Chains A and B, each alone.
Chain A
Amino acid sequence: MKLPSKEMTLDQVVRRIDSGMTVGIGGWGSRRKPMALVRAILRSDVTDLHVISYAGPDVGLLLAAGKANRVTFAFATLDSIPLEPLFSRARELGSARFREWDEGMLQTGLRAAAQRVPFLPMRAGLGSDVLVNDPDLRTVTSPYPDGEELVAVPALELDVALVHMNRADSQGNAQYLGPDPYFDDLFCMAAREAYVSTEQIIDTAGLTLDAPLQSLLLNRTMVAGVVETPNGAHFTSCSPTYERDEAFQRAYADAAKSDWDAFSARFLSGDEDAYQTAVEAFRMEASAV
């Protein structure tokens, strides 16, 4: 039997996202973020999302565009630029609701959701202001003789997960070729539906032709849809296909602190093709200087 194709367009994926949903976004900081999908959300009329992410420009952009009104995070960074400027602005203006956990707690919460248990215990958070600033967090006492009181990290159940992979097939088997899988499989398993954007959709047999078996991070039971979006993680890194576009990221960070509207009009007012064309023009200008 020929398996049905899960290939979709960016806009088809976004039509699966309703206002008010909880959306998990894979990657880490400014690394392998599903930016084409994020840009597609920016163009949509979706609003009031609760975004859960190891945050980078994905979260900054969704906040600045008023798409996210709630964010669960442990940091927000552009890596080579320590602070995500649009995120910082949203925090300082108080323009959304925020829940700040520890990095490990985020992983544990995703794992609890993936395992379909209500919580998992861990030490992280004890004694810190994580437990003060998120009054919904509870502790749990070990039923064993040690009697230790640990943090009961609640499951981070996602409506939708969005991740970006180097390669995939049309059935949703997907592969990372860089050094770190981040937490993308956990995001997918914590979600009711997961959507994968990828640099390239290829024949299934090609996936393991030149890459190890272990690079197949996602299998098709975890994935509802696949979108081919070349350069779709831009301006974040998608190693080894491409590294972070540092010049563009600097322009993004500068614009966030000065003339964001002009930057947004130039790069984010059209569709994904228009974005990639504008990025190419930016690159030509930069190399002409």
Chain B
Amino acid sequence: MTDVTRAEYCAVAIADCFADDGEIMGSPMGLLPMLGARLAKNTSNPLLMLTDGEARILRGTPPLGQTTEVVEGWMPFRLVLEAVLPYGKRHVMMGATQIDRHGNQNISAIGRWERPTRQLLGMRGAPSNTVNNKTSYWVPKHSSRVVVERVDVVSGVGRKRAEEAGPAATKFHRVHRLVTDLGVFDFEGPDHTIRFVTVHPGVSVDDVLAASGCEIHAGGDVPQTRQPTDEELLLIRELLDPANLREKEVPSR
């Protein structure tokens, strides 16, 4: 196999997020999350259930950008919001325009909420997601403007905010991972703050800290993100993303 690209390290790191989920619905938002979830379904977690992003549950894993596939079920938005999400058999990976030291995510607005300097997507389902089912985040370009000390608006809820809101907010709260183009993180540092899990090969802890707007807990040597297997590279390159769309989201450097 030729050299592994950064995008491919990201894909396997994302796939690993879904590895232990068993028979639940994966909701990957965005290109690399979709690639990673489809990779997991072909390797570590064949029971994972994925949709076409609209109302069809797909049996297999078509290449990125395509949705032609055997349909195994129906998943309209109403069912996601009222049933699957509070039912809890779901792992969502959302984007984050900002994500802070405490694992709060912002996809709502930049600046003051009352009159933002930049309107973003909106809260979407982030408040529901974080207090109801397992949530991970994907950031394609790690920078000090994205990984921050404090988000402008809290859409997705981090552990500390959930604890302050009471037992109803923590009962099913589980922020699992943040995967970025530089590394993998969780929120199991002191007081549930951001902590290194791995750095991608070619990236140092100092690189990450220099690109971050907040402290990240290391607590010892930080291992590297694992190498993809030959099978995984074959799946990514030949089956799941033959058009190499991943390279556009995370360019090689």
A residues contacting B by CB (< 8 A) are 28, 55, 73-77, 82-83, 87-88, 91-94, 100-105, 107-108, 122-130, 132-133, 148-150, 179-183, 186
Contact = CB atoms under 8 A, between A and B. Distances in A.
B169 interface: yes
A274 to B, nearest CB: 31
Interface stretch (B159-167, B178-186, B197-205): B159-167
A208 B155 CA distance: 43
Given A126-B165, A148-B168, A182 B78 contact: yes
A123 B169 contact: yes
B81 A104 contact: yes
B55 A179 contact: yes
Contact of B77 (A92, A129, A180): A180
Contacts, number: 144
Given A127-B169, A129-B154, A107 B78 contact: yes
B166 A149 contact: yes
A92 B116 contact: yes
B120 A100 contact: no
Contact of A107 (B81, B109, B113): B81
Q: When A and B form their complex, which 5 residue pairs have the shortest distance between CB atoms, in order from nearest? A: A75-B122, A127-B157, A124-B128, A179-B55, A128-B127
Interface in B113-132: 113-128, 130-132
A158 to B, nearest CB: 17
Contacts of B168: 123, 126, 148-150
Interface string B82-117: 100110000000000000000000001100011111
B215 to A, nearest CB: 22
B226 interface: no
A105 to B, nearest CB: 8
A123 B126 contact: no
B128 A75 contact: no
Contacts of A87: 119
A284 B77 CA distance: 35
Nearest to A130: B127
B116 to A, nearest CB: 6
B145 interface: no
Contacts of A150: 168
B125 A103 contact: yes
A100 B162 contact: no
B237 interface: no
A104 B115 contact: no
A183 B108 CA distance: 22
Contacts of B165: 126-127, 149
A46 to B, nearest CB: 25
Nearest to A91: B119
A260 to B, nearest CB: 17
B76 interface: yes
B123 A100 contact: yes
Contacts of A104: 81-82, 85-86, 125, 128
Contact of B113 (A55, A74, A129, A148): A129
A263 to B, nearest CB: 20
Nearest to B166: A149
A103 B123 CA distance: 8
Given A103-B128, A123-B172, A74 B122 contact: yes
A181 B165 CA distance: 34
